[in-house]
Amino acid sequence: MLGLRGLRLPPAGILLLLPFLPLLLLPAAPAPHRAPYKPVIVVHGLFDSSYSFRHLLEYINETHPGTVVTVLDLFDGRESLRPLWEQVQGFGEAVAPIMAKAPQGVHLICYSQGGLVCRALLSVMDEHNVDSFISLSSPQMGQYGDTDYLKWLFPTSMRSNLYRICYSPWGQEFSICNYWHAWRKNFLRVGRLVLIGGPDDGVITPWQSSFFGFYDANETVLEMEEQPVYLRDSFGLKTLLARGAIVRCPMAGISHTAWHSNRTLYETCIEPWLS
Please list the active-site residues: 112, 201, 256
List, in order, residues 6 or more apart from 248 with CB less than 8 Å away.
Answer: 195, 211
- Which has the closest alpha carbon to 43: 136, 172, 127, 122? 136
Beta pairing class for 106-111 and 130-136: parallel
Residues 6+ apart with CB under 8 A from 103: 129
Upper half-sphere CA count for residue 159 (Cβ side, 13 Å): 6
94 close to 101: Cβ distance less than 8 angstroms: no
